[in-house]
């Protein structure tokens, strides 16, 4: 193998998150405004062939895991064709998808056949009316249908992403935990992050994830540390004693996981983001076709990757050492 993608803090990067579009069919309250978003014209998005060319180079430097994100990735037509291209690249072992689940169910078998191995489905409420409110119009029945389709075609593990928001869905913690009792899924509670938000409005919705363990204890359940979820990344995992599934806590703000960060991000318009939170970006498009120059660009990005993102300082209102990104989460890919 060639040189590994290692930054100056010794972190080895074997994971690439690829945003295939900044567009979405929903307008979740924590992700983008209801209106006024300026989307990239289609001709500025990386083509499937360009994405595959980037991944081929990175696979030679040890990238093994990929995740397709958006916006909503299934807004991009024929996405299963990209999955097949990526699955054919030597060295790629794992291809995951993060989706809102609205469009996935009818294409579940096609994605599985193309080489998709895992799926994360965003589901911030189990109540139809509240789900429609949070997503500004989403149909929860389609999301639950996609969950069932993912189970049927054998994607494992299946993860449900729940952005926890004070006063909005924190009263459903127990309902989400109950899902893990009978179903072999992982519910992942995610802290509300200050990505692309002006001012400090996000703080009013922020709630530390200690609330999940507190609620679990209130319901009389014993939560045990659980390290058996493949691809768990930054998640701190637990299982209720006797449950089929598990739950995870992802708390980038209160207890950031930067020390073990192994990921890079490629935005839909072709920018490498070495860190989710900071503004630094490097565009790949002019280097595609020159494998050495493209690899050098990734090493340049890694060279400036900071030790941590300092979101906790944003929560505390303290000064930060770098410039936070102005992009919305939907423009980065999470």
CB count in 10 Å sphere of residue 237: 18
pLDDT at position 260 = 79
Check if the beta carbon of residue 100 is closer than 8 Å to that of residue 135. yes
Task: Indicate the SS3 state at residue 198.
Answer: coil
Q: Which residues pair with 246 in a beta bridge?
A: 186
- Alpha-carbon distance 15 to 126, whole Å? 31
324 or 7, greater pLDDT: 7
CA dihedral 306, 310, 314, 318 (to 10 degrees): -90
The half-sphere exposure of 205 on its side-chain side, counting CA atoms within 13 A, is 17
Q: Which residues contact 209 (CB under 8 A, 6 or more apart)?
A: 164, 189, 191, 249, 250, 251, 254
CA atoms within 13 A on the CB side of 69: 19
Taking residues 293-315, report their average pLDDT: 79
Q: How confident is the model at residue 332 (pLDDT cuts 50, 70, 90)?
A: low
CB atoms within 10 A of CB 13: 22
Q: In this model, does residue 285 exceed pLDDT 80?
A: yes
The owner of tokens 């001709």 is 43
Instruction: Please determine, for residue 330, whether its predicted confidence score (pLDDT) is greater than 70.
Output: no
Query: What digits encode the pLDDT tens for the residues 12-28?
Result: 999 999 999 999 999 99
> Would strands 65-69 and 94-99 be described as parallel, antiparallel, or unpaired?
parallel
CA dist 276 and 193 (Å) reads: 11
**Domain residue ranges in the chain:** 15-332
Distance CA 62, CA 134 (A): 38
CA 239, distance to chain mean position in Å, is 22
Per the CB < 8 A criterion, the answer to whether 39 and 23 are in contact is: yes
Asked if residue 104 lies in contact with residue 110, where contact means CB atoms within 8 angstroms, the answer is no
> Which fold would CATH assign to domain 15-332?
TIM Barrel (3.20.20)
Whether residue 71 is preceded by a cis peptide bond, meaning omega within 30 degrees of 0, is yes
pLDDT digits (tens, 9 = 90+) for 134-181: 999 999 999 999 999 999 999 999 999 999 999 999 999 999 999 999
Instruction: Tell me the pTM.
Output: 0.89
């Amino acid at each position: 193998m060639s040189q590994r993608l290692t930054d100056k803090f010794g972190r080895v990067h074997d994971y690439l998150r690829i945003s295939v579009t900044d567009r979405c069919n929903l307008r979740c309250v924590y992700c983008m405004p209801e209106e006024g978003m300026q989307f990239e014209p289609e001709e500025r998005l990386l083509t499937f062939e360009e994405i595959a060319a980037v991944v081929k180079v990175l696979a030679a430097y040890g990238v093994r895991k990929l995740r397709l994100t958006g916006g909503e990735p299934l807004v991009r037509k024929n996405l299963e064709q990209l999955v097949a291209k990526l699955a054919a690249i030597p060295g790629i072992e794992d291809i995951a998808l993060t989706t809102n689940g609205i469009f996935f169910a009818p294409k579940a078998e096609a994605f599985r056949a193309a080489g998709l191995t895992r799926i994360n489905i965003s589901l911030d409420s189990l109540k139809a009316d509240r789900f429609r409110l949070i997503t500004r119009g989403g149909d929860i029945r389609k999301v639950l249908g996609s969950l069932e389709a993912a189970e049927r075609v054998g994607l494992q593990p299946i993860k449900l992403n729940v952005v926890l928001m004070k006063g909005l869905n924190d009263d459903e913690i127990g309902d989400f935990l109950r899902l893990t009792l009978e179903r072999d899924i992982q519910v992942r509670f995610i802290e509300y992050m200050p990505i692309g938000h002006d001012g400090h409005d996000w703080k009013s919705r922020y709630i530390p994830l200690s609330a999940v363990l507190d609620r679990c204890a209130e319901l009389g359940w014993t939560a045990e540390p659980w390290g058996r979820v493949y691809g768990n990344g930054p998640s701190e995992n637990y299982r209720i004693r006797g449950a089929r599934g598990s739950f995870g806590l992802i708390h980038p703000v209160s207890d950031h996981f930067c020390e073990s960060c192994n990921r890079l991000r490629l935005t839909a318009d072709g920018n490498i983001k070495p860190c989710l939170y900071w503004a630094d970006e490097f565009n790949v498009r002019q280097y595609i076709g020159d494998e050495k120059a493209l690899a050098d660009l990734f090493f340049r990005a890694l060279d400036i990757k900071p030790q941590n993102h300092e979101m906790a300082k944003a929560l505390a209102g303290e000064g930060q050492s770098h410039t936070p990104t102005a992009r919305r989460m939907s423009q980065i890919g999470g």
